[in-house]
Each structure stands twice: as structure tokens, then as C-alpha cells.
Amino acid sequence: MAPKKDDIYKESLDYHSKGRPGKLQITPTKPTQTQRDLSLAYSPGVAQPCMEIAKNPKDSYKYTARGNLVAVISNGSAVLGLGNLGATAAKPVMEGKAVLFKRFADIDVFDIEVNTEDPEEFIRCVKLLEPTFGGINLEDIKAPECFQIEQTLKKEMGIPVFHDDQHGTAIISAAALLNALELVGKKINKVRIVFSGGGAAAIACARLYLSLGVKRENVILCDSRGVVYKGRPEGMNEFKEEFAVNGKERTLADAMKGADVFVGLSVKGAVTKDMVKSMAKKPIVFAMANPDPEISYDDAKAARSDIIFATGRSDYPNQVNNVLGFPFIFRGALDTQAHCINEEMKLAAAKALAELARQDVSDVVSKAYGGQTFRFGPEYIIPKPFDPRALTWVAPAVAKAAMESGVARVQLDLDAYAASLEKRLGVRQSFIRSLKDRIHVSTSGPDKRLPRIVFPEGTNDRVLRACDVLLSEEICQPILLGSEKKIVAAAERLGLSSIQPLAQIITPRDSDERQSYASEFYELRKRKGISKEHAFSLMKQENYFGSMMVRRGDADGLLSGATQSYAETIRPFLHTVGARKGMKISGIYMMLFQERILFLADTTVNIEPSASDLADIAICAAEEATFVGIQPKVAMLSFSNFGSNNHPSAQKVREATQMVKQRRPDLIVDGEMQADTAVVPEIVEEVYPFCEIKGAANVLVFPDLQSANICYKLLQRVGGAEAIGPILVGMNKPINVLQRSASVDEIVNMAMFTVLEIQQTSKKNEPLQAKARAAKRKA
């Protein structure tokens, strides 16, 4: 239930006033802890970059924050839907805009409120600020002055100038239009479009739609006086004149008869049910007046059941929200040092957003909207602002358009650029991309074969959606176990067109391999209480069947656990595949934070490990870190620091540390130590300089399962870490277990990790396989 207006107004005032007033602060990006730091940050050291920039002004992008700095500038003459509030009252909005730039695209902003309504004064002020910024975002400036201001500044400044109230709405609604037209099966050059509103946003929308392919003769613009027609004596200006028509229509109601598309940027109540009923078959209505649309969602749906409807509000489907545009458009413009944002860049942004809306929607988005599920269709034609992929889809598209249209001063490698954008989102996004890159390098080539991973829970919706992603990104070849009829029906219900033709589907109960798997399993377990009949019965269970597939080499790896307990999931693996010779099976979680990655062991298997068990666990955990490209620094954890307590549990960890050093002298390992000693480098530097771990440890081996399990769940639920795991180490084959609550993204991540384990296992086996081939040739 939406909060009452009075409640949200009070909450908003508290939000802005409590603690440090406002929403922004400035944070240094360089060290400022010592006198030496300050002498570099300011006098005398700062003189050198000043001299370099004086010789070459372009070096301001190299030595200052200019390349990531945007000015959000307003005079407060058209604040939101509130009218002319003046420059000072506009400041909360400009601060809010700055927050959105930072949150969604990691762009720094100074908000500037200019106390003048004289366009010439405003233009002069902004022009004088050019050396400070990489780009200018104009905001909340009334029409028609905003047209003059933007046109002049774009012409006279050498950095991007963008009036978001015009172009942001145009770009997002253009993306929505492309997708709506695809859904209703109409061609853009045939549709008739009516605009309600003669201001900056409406005219910008009309112009961009023309660039997309709408015919000018199919556009009617209406304002508060009705249709804008040639020769109209009142309420005209040069910008409206651009869209003046010769037709007989004089009112909005006249114009909407038979129209395919309505675009509203005017006032509440401008459109009635009868006007919507008069539109063509399968009408598209974008009622974007704020805060209340030209016609409500309920009234529009009541008038036409075949309608596709969008508004500017978050409480209805298809919100046309400018935050989907300006952060990513400026990101691409800044990173190419484009001298303007041109039509090609705006079109590229609109097309990228339209394409993103057609993709499977991430669970991250679903969680941000209270667990709602979204799928491309009449009620989902635009991506949600919290879709983290928007940055990596839109910014590269804008950058590419800037380079191809000749306005970029810097040429980018787009693949490397996409990777750099994910780093801006934090370590976790960058790490996940690195996994994908390693997989694609290993599976590329003319004779590539994707690793085959068994998913015993083949009828589960999350598993199916994850497999759809894995197929589309060519990460692995899923083998889905379960009733083929149920799997196919679920895939159709979810709109996953790739599952049936591309994924292998096996119903264990009916498989030709069931008997042979049962016979082999009987031989494995006949002295452990398993009869032939029981073995055959077990092979109708997906986890047992899948485990035997991996054992026999009919699959390369397995991933399960989304619908059952950990014990139920792991038991078949232990009975069929088992442990590597001489190793202890254990469970590791990778905890991905914004700035670091930690490996925690053993979180899932060994309740009270011995010193020897802990040594095995530490070595396997270190191997996993190495395996993903991270140099392991292994801390053996206890409540004791380096002999400070002689309790048996501390002695056990001490002994385990020595065992690891003896068995693997190449590893960086030390202990026993407390958790803060392991992760806070200053403690080691100041108190324990003899410790072999310099800098923070990244592999944390706990003294027992209880402490490890508690820690990983606290880090995940309270510390904001993303957990990848449990990763089973010490197994004879690449088999992993999912958390029961695993999201689609988490299943995909675990599948990628399993693929990398498969590839690593294959590399280890290559010498043996080569030896066998050589022996065969010799024979």
C-alpha cells in the first residue's frame, strides 16, 4: 500500500534534514594522512600538474577530476511540476540529481543554482565554468528559454551540454516506443502520433521520434490551446512552428481519433476514456505528466483492454524514468571526451535500452521491487532503473556512437571499456565478468565444446531461468533432469524459448542408462547395505542419476541444491563420486564485497575438524583462490594470537598451521590468529611484524564448522557480501551445491565456477591423456 502524501512529505523533510543536512559531501580520492601527502595534494607539489596543464590544457583530464565531473545547473524556473520556485528552492532537486549520477554511473557532480532568469546572463555564467567540468547537465529551466540556452551553449562550448528535461524523456520514451510497436506489430513509419504539450520535453520527443523513423506528416502537436496548426494566431513560437500542421483538427480530442500513439507531457486530466476509445486498434498511450498522468492507469485500461500504457510514475507499470538515461549517456560521453551529445548518441541510448528490456530480467531487479517478476511484454517495455546492466549496455552504445559519429576525442576498446564499467560497479561485478572472460577464452575456437553440467532440479523455475542465461551466453551445455513434459511446460510458461531446442532433457525413470547406472552403483555400495533392487530404485532420483552421469563421464559436472537440504543434496555425491585420494572434502564460500574477495572454509561439511583436516581444508581453499586468479594469503583463525593462549582448540589450529607449511611451503600461511588480525593490516604491522601475511588475508580457515557457517551468513545478510558457494573442494569430480534460496544470478555464478573447475580438471588430465594416446599409437 502506497504511503499517504502527508506521511511521505514528513518523511522527506526528515530525510533531508537529519544528520548532515542535504544529500552530498566531498570525499578525497588520494591519501591525506601525512605531511608528505598534503605537500603533494597542495603546495608545493601541486605546482607541477598546474605547469603541465598550462602547457597542454587537455592534461586537465589527466591530472584533475574534470573527466568524471558534471555540473548540474538550474535557475529554478521550472522545478519538477511545481513551477518557478527560484534558484535556491531548486537546490534539493539538483542535489538529488547528483545522487543519481553517482549511484548509477559513478559520476561526480557539483550542483550549481544560478540566480537569474535572463537567458543571456545564464549562458554567460555557464560558459565561464567550462574549464571546471567534463559536461553540463541543464535542469528545470522553463521553455522556451531552455531551447535558446541549450542551443547557444552547445554551439559555443567544447564539452557536452544536455538538457535532461528535454532529451532524457525523449530517449527513454523512444525506447518504450520501439518495444511497444514491436509488441503491437506496427511499423514506425506508418503510425500516427499525437503529442499533448508544447514544452521542451514534448518537442524533444517529437524530434527524436522523427530520427527513429516517424514521418513528420504523421505527427500532430497539441498544447493548452489545442492543435498547433499553420497560421494559428496565438501561443506560437519558432519551436512549435516546426510541427505546425495543415489539417482540420483543432482539439486534442479531434487529433486522437484514429491515432496509434498518444504522448502526453502536459497536465492531469487532459485525456478522457472516450478519447482513448477513439484511438486505433492496439493503442499506445504514454501519459507522462507529473505527478499525475493525463489519464490514470485504471481509466486507460478500462477504456481499452488492448492498450499499452506508460507513465512517469513508479507505482504503475512502464515508468518512463529519466534515470535510465542521463547517468549512462554522460558516462559514455565523458569516457570518450566527446565534445557534444549528438543525435546518434541519443538514438544509440534509446536502442540499447529497448534491447535490454527484451532480455531476461535479473533477480537483482526483482529484489529491488519487493520480489516482483518482470518479463518483456505490454507491462514491461522499459528496463527498471535498478537493473545493474543498464550501465554496461547503454554507456558502451553511447561511446560507440560518439566514436563512429566523429565527436569523440578518445578512442576506446569497447570490450575493455565494458570491463572497466563493471569495475565501477565494484569488485563483485568485475570478478563475475572475469569468470565469464576466462570461460569464453577456454571454450573458443572452431572445435569448441561447451562443458556439460547436469542440473537435477530441471523443473525448478530458477534453475530453468539460469539455464536460459547459460545457454544464451554460451557458458555451458545444461543437462536438465526431471519429467520432460513438466520441464517443457515450465519453460513455455516462463517464455524461455532456448530450453527445449538447446538443452538436453532426460527423465531418469525412463532413461536407457538407468539399469547400467544402477548396476555400477550396486557394485560400489553392495557391501554398504545396497541391494540391486534398491540401486535401481535410487536411479530414478535425479541426484543419484546425475551423480552417476558425472562418474561415468556422460556429464562433466553437476550443480544441485536449490530445492532440497544440504544433506539430501550431498549424500548421492559422496556415495558415487567421492573424495580425491588423500583429501578431506570441505565446503568453501567466496564472499564478494565491493572492495575485496574473501574465501571462507570450512562452512558446510566438517563439524569438528582435526588439525590434519584443517590443513587439508586450508590447502584446498588456497588452491581455489589460485584457481580464480587470486594469490592466496591463508589465515588460520582462532580466538588466540600466535600462542597467546594454550587452550586445546588454539593448539589444534597452531598444529594445523605447521602442517600446511610443511606440506605446502610455497603458500603464504600463518596462524593461529584472531579474525581482526587477519583482515586489518595495521594490526600485523604494529603488533605482529613477524607474521608472514603482509596486507590483509583473503583465505580464512575457521577452527570448526559452527564458527565458519555463522560468519558467512552474517557477512551475507548483514555485511552486504554476495556469497558464491558452497564450493565443494576435495571432490573427485566438479560437483557443487546451491544454497536452497539461491537466486537465478547465484545459480549462474555457481555454474560458471563449476565450468572453470571442469576446465581445470581437464588441464590436469591432459598429460595422462597424452600419455595414453602415445601408448595407443605405439601399440
* Residues noted as catalytic: 42, 97
Give residues with Cβ within 8 angstroms of 408, minimum separation 6. Answer: 336, 337, 338, 399, 402
Residue 544 to residue 539: CA distance in whole angstroms: 6
Spatial contact of 298 and 362, defined as CB atoms under 8 Å apart: no
Residue 103 to residue 98: CA distance in whole angstroms: 9
Q: Where are the alpha helices (DSSP H) in 118-163?
A: 119-128, 145-156
Collapsing DSSP states into helix, strand and coil, what is residue 617?
helix
Spatial contact of 294 and 264, defined as CB atoms under 8 Å apart: yes
Instruction: Say how many C-beta atoms besides its own lie within 10 A of residue 706's C-beta.
Output: 11
Positive or negative: CA dihedral 192, 197, 199, 200: negative
| Identity of the amino acid at 403 | M
Number of alpha carbons in the 13 Å side-chain half-sphere of residue 730: 24
Q: What is the DSSP letter of 375?
A: -
| Identity of the amino acid at 443 | T
* φ, ψ for residue 192, nearest 5 deg: -105, 130
Instruction: Calculate the alpha carbon distances from 620 to 468, 579, 580, 664, 700 in Å.
Output: 31, 12, 11, 11, 12
Closest CA to 194 of 174, 219, 172, 170: 219
Residue 182 to residue 186: CA distance in whole angstroms: 7
Give residues with Cβ within 8 angstroms of 722, minimum separation 6. Answer: 428, 591, 592, 716, 746
Q: Tell how strand 586-592 and strand 722-729 pair up.
A: antiparallel
Spatial contact of 320 and 167, defined as CB atoms under 8 Å apart: no
User: Which grid coordinates belong to 529?
Assistant: 547395505
Spatial contact of 192 and 217, defined as CB atoms under 8 Å apart: no
Residue with cell 589450529: 653
| Identity of the amino acid at 26 | I
Residue 351 to residue 343: CA distance in whole angstroms: 12
Helix, strand, coil percent content, the chain, rounded in steps of 5: 50, 15, 35
Collapsing DSSP states into helix, strand and coil, what is residue 296?
coil
Residue 303 to residue 586: CA distance in whole angstroms: 61
User: Which grid coordinates belong to 615?
Assistant: 590443513
Residue 637 to residue 404: CA distance in whole angstroms: 55
* φ, ψ for residue 193, nearest 5 deg: -120, 135
